[in-house]
Chain A
C-alpha cells in the first residue's frame, strides 16, 4: 500500500479535492474489500476523520455487515452517533452507554437511534456505538464482523486488549500528532514490549501486525494555507499534508480599525498572516500569570469588539466571528479557570455557546475559527516533559480555521536552550518523533516573525 504513504510532495498543481478523494476511496477499498484484519488511517488535524468514519460506517452497513464503533469519550460517541444518524436517518444505530453516563439528549431527535445500557437490546442494530470503557464490559457475545476504532492513537493498548476480542476486523482511525495516552502509575517495566499496556493502541497493533495497510488523509480542510505548512513540518515531518484551501480562500477582517494597542496589533497581524505572537516582557510567573491571563482576555474581547468577520470557501457571504467560534487553549485547568474569570470580568461569555476555554486535552478534536493560546512555557522557570509534550503544542496550534494567536512571555527560546537534556532512553521503544523540544523551537521560530510586543 503506497498510495497513502508516498511522502513525495504532491506535484503542483495540487488538487486537494482529488487527492483526498483518492485517499478516501483507497481506504474504503481496503476496508470493504481488503483481506487484512486491520486498516490504519492517520489523519492530521481537520482532515475529515469524522466524515471518513461516517462514510465507512454507512458503506459497511450498506453491504449488510454488522458494525461496532469504539470511541474514547462519551462526548465523541454522542457526536459520532449524531453525525451518523443525521447523514443516514434510516440507519438503525444503537448507542450503548453506562448506567451513570446517560447519552446526550441531542440524540433524542433521531428516531432510529436506540439507547441502552445492555448490548443485548442493541444486537439487531446495524451499527452499535460506545466508548472503549463501556465495550470492555461486554462479554460472551458473538463477535462483530467489523469494527471502527476512532481516536485510536489516544486509546491505550490495554483498552484495545479488552475490546479486540469483540470484532474480527477493524478500521483504526486517529491523529498520531495529538496527546499520547498516559498512565498515572509507572509502566517502565513494560517499556519496549510490543504489548506495553500503557502504549498507544496503534503502536501495539502495528508491532504485532506490521503488514497492515496504512493510509493517511493528505489534506487538512480545517487548517488554512498559512498554518498547514508549519503544523505539517513541525509535527508531521514524515507524513506531510497540505491545506485544502489556498492562500486567498480564507480571510479574517475587522469592522473596527485597530487602536494601536498590543491586542489590536496582534489581531491585525493574525488577520494578515494567520499567526500572531503577543509577547509580554520576560518574567518568571506562576501558572496563572495575571498579566498573561488578562492579555488573553483582552485579545478575545477585542476580537469580538472589533466586529470580526470571516470569509471562506464555504460561501461568498462573510460570517460574523461570534464567541462560539473562538477558543482559548491552555496547558492547565487552573489557567483555563483563570481565563474564564478574566473573561467574565471583561464581560465576555465563556462556556457553552460562548468562548470555549479549555485545556489542550479537552480541545482535542475540536475546531474553531480563531484560537488564542496561552503558551504552555510562558513565564515558566523550568520546562518539564509535560510542558514540552509535542502533542500538547500540536493540539493548541491546530484547532483554527483562520488564525491562531499565541500569548507568551519573552524568553522561551532561552528556556528551551537551557533545558537540561538527560532523558532516560528505553531500549526497544520507538522514538516519538519529532520531539517536543524541537517542535517547540520550530513553532517559536515561526511565531517570532509575527511578534507584537505587549503594550496595554
Chain B
C-alpha cells in the first residue's frame, strides 16, 4: 500500500473520521442511477433470495423468492428483475448522437447516455455476473421443447447483466459500479481495506451519525445487534447474516412450505408476506446506504477526464445494443483465445489511461505519483535554446529545474507535460538528474516555498498544477533535499524553427512532468478469430457452423 495511503489512514484514525483520498470524483455518477441490492441463499449458487432495485430511492421495487429452492419461484424472480431493469435500459437505447466520420470509419451513432447500475459492494457485483450467467442461456416460452421455460425477457436480462459485469472489469468504467469501491477510491478510513468492504462500516467512517466518531459508527455497523439478536446493519449482501438465516428466515420458509404443501392459500399468503417483510428488513438498510453513498459522491466535483471515459462506456453500451439488434447469440461461457487477448489488451490500455488521467485531474493523485518518483513538479531555473541537427533544425530547449521530487528516471527517459489548450502532451526527455547545488543553504530556509510566489505569478504555461496557496504551512518545508533536473523538450512546440508561443516555460515557472504518457495508443490489431494460429489451438469452430452455447442441463430436482 502506498505511503500516501498509510499516512491518510493514520490521519483518519487520529481525526476519528475518514479523510479525502481524492479531491475530485473519478467516476461518473449518473443523474438517475439504477440501484440494485441483491441477496442470495447461503450455499446455493444462483439461488437468489431477493433484491431491491430501482431508480427512485423512495420507491424501490422489492423482489422476494419465498422459497429459493423452487425453480418456478426463482424464475418468477428473474422475470421480475427483467421487468425492473430492461425498461430502464430500453429508455437509453434510442436516444442517440451522431459521431462524425473520421479517417478510419464512417459516421456512426452512439447512445447519448447510458444507464448506470450501482450495487453495494464487489461481492454484489460478482453476483450480478453470476445472475447474468445463470439467466442468459435459459430457454424461453418461445421454445416449444423447453422443460421449464422462462418469459422472453429473462435471457435478455442475462445478456445485459453479463455485458455490464464484463465492462466493470475495465479500469475506470462506470456502467456497473460497486459503492464500496467508489467510496474507498475517494476516502481513506481509519480501518483496514478488508473492513472497508462492509458498506455500513465504511459509511460510518466517512459520514458518522451525530454523536459518534467514525470508529464507533463502524463498530456499530459491524457488530451491533438489536434486541431480536439481528444485526442493526445487515451485511450488504449478497450473503445474509447466518443468525438471520437460522433464527428467523428458516422458520419462515418452513411455514411457507407447510402452508403450500397443505394447499392452504390463506396461510400461504401470510407466510409469503412474512418472508417478504423479513427479506425487506435485510435489504432496506443497504438500499439506503447505497443512496447515502451516491449523495456523498455527488458532492465531489467531477474530474476533467471522467466525461471522456464515460463516453467509452456509452460506446460499450451502444455496441452491445447493436449486437442484440443484430441477433447475435448470447456471450459464450468462456472467451476464445482472440477475444481474451483483445479484452486483456483493452483493459491494459484502459488501466494506463486511467492511471494518467486520474493524476492529471487530481493534485492528490499527482502527489502520490510524485512521491513514487513517477512525476516531478519543479521551478524552472533556466532555459537554454538548442536545436536538433539535420536539414530542418527543430527547437530542443533545455530546461533546468529544481524539484523536491526524486524522479525514478535514467537519462533519456521520456517525460510528458500537459500543455494548456493542447490536445496532446508535450514530450521531453530527461537529460540529467543531480542533487541541486547549494542544497544545504536552501534546506531549512524554505528554498522551495521561496519560489512559490514567483510561480503564482508565473505565465500561463505555469498552470499545470496550481501552486500551493501562499501560506500553506506544510508545503515543502525542510522536507528533504532538492534535485536539479535537466530536461530537453522534444515536441509540442509547433512545426517552425521557433517554438510556438507559450509552449516553452520561462524561468520561474512551475511545471510538472510525468514519466508516464498521458494518452494511450491501442496496440496492433489481433488476428481474426478464424485466423487463430496453431500455437493457440487453431481457429475455433467457424461462426456459421458453430452451435450456440447449449443451455445448462436441467435436472429433475434442480436444487438439493
Contact = CB atoms under 8 A, between A and B. Distances in A.
A38 B535 contact: yes
Interface in B483-536: 523-527, 531-536
A38 B534 CA distance: 10
B491 to A, nearest CB: 11
B527 A165 contact: yes
A180 interface: no
B325 interface: no
B229 interface: no
A204 B351 contact: no
Number of chain A interface residues as a range: 20 to 34
B253 to A, nearest CB: 32
Interface in A162-205: 162, 164-165, 183-187, 189-190, 193-198, 201, 204-205
B526 A183 contact: no
A410 interface: no
A194 B408 CA distance: 37
Nearest to B536: A195
A208 interface: yes
B524 A204 contact: no
Contact of B533 (A136, A165, A186, A187): A165
A183 B351 CA distance: 11
A185 B347 contact: yes
B338 interface: yes
B525 A197 contact: no
User: Which 6 pairs, one residue from A and one from B, show the smallest C-beta to C-beta distance?
Assistant: A164-B533, A195-B337, A158-B341, A197-B341, A136-B524, A164-B535
B537 A194 contact: yes
A114 interface: no
A333 interface: yes
A187 B337 CA distance: 13
Interface string B325-362: 00000000011111011001101101110000000000
A39 to B, nearest CB: 13
Nearest to B352: A184
Nearest to A165: B533
A185 B171 contact: yes
B340 A193 contact: yes
B169 A161 contact: no
A147 B533 CA distance: 14
Nearest to B528: A165
A232 B524 CA distance: 39
B477 interface: no
A160 interface: yes
21 contacts: A136-B523, A139-B525, A157-B536, A161-B337, A161-B526, A164-B533, A164-B534, A164-B535, A185-B169, A185-B347, A185-B348, A187-B344, A189-B169, A190-B334, A190-B344, A193-B334, A193-B340, A195-B340, A195-B536, A197-B341, A209-B534
B340 A190 contact: yes
B60 interface: no
B537 A165 contact: no
Nearest to B346: A185
B178 to A, nearest CB: 14
Interface-centre pick from A165, A184, A195, A205 (highest chain B CB count, 10 A): A195
A205 B338 CA distance: 15
A337 interface: yes
B373 A334 contact: yes
A137 interface: yes
A157 B536 CA distance: 9
Given A193-B334, A196-B340, A198-B344, A161 B527 contact: yes
A233 interface: no
Contacts of A184: 348, 351-352
B487 to A, nearest CB: 17
Nearest to B334: A193
A185 B351 contact: yes
Contacts of B536: 157, 160-161, 164, 194-195, 204, 208
Interface of B: 169, 171, 334-338, 340-341, 344-345, 347-348, 350-352, 373, 408, 523-527, 531-538
Contacts of A204: 535-536
A206 to B, nearest CB: 10
A286 to B, nearest CB: 9
Contact of A161 (B171, B348, B532): B532
Nearest to A186: B169
A160 B341 CA distance: 10
Nearest to B338: A161
A158 B345 contact: yes
B344 A334 contact: no
B527 A185 contact: no
Given A136-B524, A197-B340, A334-B408, A161 B347 contact: no
Interface-centre pick from A190, A193, A201, A204 (highest chain B CB count, 10 A): A190
A161 B524 contact: no
A187 B343 CA distance: 10
A195 B538 CA distance: 11
B20 to A, nearest CB: 25
A441 interface: no
Nearest to A208: B537
A189 B169 CA distance: 10
B341 A183 contact: no
Contacts of A187: 344
A37 interface: yes
A186 B344 CA distance: 8
Given A160-B536, A161-B527, A208-B536, 8 more contacts: A157-B341, A161-B341, A161-B535, A185-B344, A194-B536, A197-B337, A208-B534, A333-B408
Nearest to A170: B535
A187 B169 CA distance: 10
Contacts of B351: 184-185
Contact of B344 (A137, A183, A194): A183
